Structure 1
Amino acid sequence: MAVIACVAFAHILDILFDDENDDMVHVEMLGMHSILREDRTRCRNYFEEVIPNYLPDEFRLFFKVCRGTIELICQSIANYPELSPRCVPGGREPIPLGKKVLITIRYLSSQETIHELSDRFGVTPFSVLHCIRNVISSINNTMLNRFVKWPENRELPEISQRFNDLGQHEFPSVVGAIDGCHVQIEAPYVINPKSYFNRKKNHSVILQEVCTYDMRFIDINVGWPGRVHDAKVLRNSRLWESGFHKCENGRYHLLGDAAYPLKEWLLTPYRDNGHLTRQQLSFNMRLSSKRQVIERAFAQLKGRFRRLKYVNIKSVEEICKAVLCACILHNVCIIEADSLEDMLLEENQVPENYPGMAVLQNDAQGQLKRLNITQRI
């Protein structure tokens, strides 16, 4: 009898984890009496017939990327092992790669639930989750180093000049802007979920990024609990140790807000104590005008990939993978000139400064460099 029960349970597991099965399976685990299939109302042939008839603007409005970007993603991850179709004799036909990618892109670009995606694309909720997990992993593993990378030293002069040309005011030797933003999440399954409860009274993880003049991310750090200060996130990132070298030993620099420490490779504004000179006020104004590019980058990231406005996943590791994937795709869109600025609603990014909450490790070289630039401009 025990052998029969084990075989039956193994059969149930095979059905539950069959990602090509397009029926919702309910198992009466206590009695083990029967396996019932529930018929769900699904959109038939949405991928095969409806999507191909979308006009270019309709496609971009719905998926937030153009067809060319989808093709590039498919080409980039086509050889990823986890996406290879499984050949099961007598089983369902495997889900095409293009369909898996579109399911994932729609998931990232909307707040649709797994069941809504399941009904739209005509596959089971488990298949939707399976597709999303594998496509996100494939993008992170195969496209990260290709599309998110720090510029080479020979590229820094041109980037600096492009930054200098932004807006009406000059600011020399800038190669990037740094900031952090909160990605709102559910209370995660961790030992201390309260550490993810931030000042805005919701749970979040912190996304720290550096971007260039064109809003392209060149350094990404995600996963710190929302209660942690921006300066601590920076001090515990790889950028803290490598920033000086990456900025050509201090010849160039990043721009940050007052939450960050002043370094030779990271310039921050003067703290306004009510007694700043005209030159210091001018320095702050110029720095702020150049640093706005990172705020626009975050607004565009969350405007295109709206899943980042609220990620209803309990695993912090899976949350970080989804956020990282969205950042990679953000860069892909910029490089491919796949712009949605005419369709995105810009959001006001409120700087989160925490006066007195962090011990800022300002250094003498940074103070001297800031003084020299203040006098020059």
Structure 2
Amino acid sequence: MAPVRGAKRRSKAAAEKKAAMAAAAAAGGALGAGGGDWWDGFCMRMSGALSCMEDAQRFESIFKMSRRTFNYVCSLVKDEMMVRSSSYAFLDGKVLSLEDRVAVALIRLNSGGSLVTVGSSVGVNHSTVSLITWRFVEAMEERASHHLRWPDSGEMEKIKSIFEKIQGLPNCCGVVDATHITMCLSSAEPNCKVWLNHEKNYSMVLQAVIGPDMRFMDIVTGWPGTMKEWSILHSSGLFKLCEKGARLNGSKREVSVGSEVGEYLIGDAGYPLLPWLLTPYQENNLSDSKVEFNKRHAAAITVAPRTLSKFKDTWKFLHGEMWRPDKHRLPRIIHVCCLLHNIIIGLQDAASAMDEACVLSDHDTNYKQQVCQLADENAVRVRDKLSEHLACR
């Protein structure tokens, strides 16, 4: 969908955020201040080093989000998660509450532990962990999809101003990048080779457009690890929308007298150079203006690997260490983890620790940089205009 202009859409976005804050506050009140009976009871079912932490720190260590954000997630999925209110019980026979169910699902997603390990840690059968986690995924898809959408025109103007303020790139709308989600497949499985990437790991690719606040603006996943970054881009809805002018079609920016550039994304050398997707210069002996462009481009693009690294570090289920992931369900689980990532940022969650100063490992450690030599002639001129503009500043 193309960005929608106008005050009506901005008002709707503001109303959604206000409703989210109200829901989180209401849920927090219902559960009791300072943790309440549910959290006290859940803590008693868990053991280990967590017991010596402060209450808030312990909660955030387990769920990778604050209590306030957890309450909001519960409010989102309540109706779907409680359809069969008496279907799930602890091993001692006590029926799991809404909070218990959300807690089990989040532990499964962010710990990366097996069904048996997660079940043992909280006192439920491993089959119950599986059923609850999938129910949670379905509920999040149904109720939280609005947390991952393309920005409207007002939001995009703010994004562009941040990129220009920080790195001096005018009219930049985001960064596109991709990462491999490792899978545990058997070599005996039919068609397994299509999932075997260039580093000889079985994987599924996640492509994402990321804003300066580390929020996902657009994602596509489900493609096998054998596909190159540019092939996935070309197959995506993002590519089709941008090529026909239905996205990145906002106001142009004058960079010199009689010279202007439209909205664009930036990406690494693994992507083609397009009028709406600018990649770094790759040749040797660059002019000073081109060196300056590459310098600014490299600094701005770091938000993507940092985001993907933090994302995969939080949702360890995506490390491929779990039992035989269903490759037909995995794209939906990846999508829900992206929704949760955005919710944490949207509620300005201190527990998320999405701090520019944090040092994280590369999201695709030991993966060699792919290089795409495809370059659109118009894009070459656009990039040259920008490099000359930056050199004069």
Task: Give TM-score, length-normalised by structure 2.
Answer: 0.76
- The answer on whether the counterparts of 1:83 and 1:135 sit within 8 Å (CA) in structure 2 is no
Residue 341 (str. 1) matches residue 353 (str. 2): yes
Residues 190/172 of structure 1: CA separation in 2 closer, same or farther (3 Å cut): farther
Residue 363 (str. 1) matches residue 364 (str. 2): no
CA shift for structure 1 position 314? 3.4
Tell me the residue number matched to 1:353. Answer: 369
Residues 314/57 of structure 1: CA separation in 2 closer, same or farther (3 Å cut): closer
Tell me the residue number matched to 1:78. Answer: 78
The correspondence of residues 161-310 of structure 1 with structure 2, limited to 5 A, is 161-166=161-166, 169-187=167-185, 191-243=190-242, 244-248=245-249, 251-272=262-283, 274-310=284-320
Is the deviation greater in 316-325 or in 123-132? 316-325
Residues 324/75 of structure 1: CA separation in 2 closer, same or farther (3 Å cut): same
Aligned to 1:109, the other structure's residue is in SS state helix
Residue 60 (str. 1) matches residue 60 (str. 2): yes
Aligned to 1:123, the other structure's residue is in SS state coil
Residues 376/342 of structure 1: CA separation in 2 closer, same or farther (3 Å cut): closer
Residues 359/315 of structure 1: CA separation in 2 closer, same or farther (3 Å cut): farther
CA shift for structure 1 position 113? 1.5
- Alignment deviations for residues 133-162 of structure 1 (CA, whole Å, 9 cap, x no partner): 100111122102x11010112322221011
Tell me the residue number matched to 2:30. Answer: none
Tell me the residue number matched to 1:115. Answer: 116
- How many Å separate the matches in 2 of 1:342 and 1:292? 13
Is the deviation greater in 203-212 or in 364-373? 364-373
- Alignment deviations for residues 95-118 of structure 1 (CA, whole Å, 9 cap, x no partner): 211111101111111122111111
- The answer on whether the counterparts of 2:45 and 2:123 sit within 8 Å (CA) in structure 1 is no
Residues 69/77 of structure 1: CA separation in 2 closer, same or farther (3 Å cut): same
CA shift for structure 1 position 363? 2.2
Structure 2 segments unaligned to the other structure (5+ residues): 1-39, 88-92, 253-261
Task: Give TM-score, length-normalised by structure 1.
Answer: 0.79
Superposed CA RMSD in Å reads 2.5
Tell me the residue number matched to 1:135. Answer: 136
- The answer on whether the counterparts of 1:104 and 1:131 sit within 8 Å (CA) in structure 2 is yes
- The answer on whether the counterparts of 1:107 and 1:307 sit within 8 Å (CA) in structure 2 is yes
* Aligned partner letter, 1:119: S
- How many Å separate the matches in 2 of 1:336 and 1:292? 23
Structure 1 segments unaligned to the other structure (5+ residues): 1-44
Structure having the higher Rg: 1
- Alignment deviations for residues 3-30 of structure 1 (CA, whole Å, 9 cap, x no partner): xxxxxxxxxxxxxxxxxxxxxxxxxxxx
CA shift for structure 1 position 217? 0.2
* Aligned partner letter, 1:204: S
- How many Å separate the matches in 1 of 2:114 and 2:106? 13
Is the deviation greater in 106-115 or in 203-212? 106-115
* Aligned partner letter, 2:192: P
- Alignment deviations for residues 209-262 of structure 1 (CA, whole Å, 9 cap, x no partner): 001110000101111111110000000010001124321167211110111111
CA shift for structure 1 position 315? 1.5
- How many Å separate the matches in 2 of 1:334 and 1:352? 30
* Aligned partner letter, 2:203: S
Percent identity over paired residues: 23
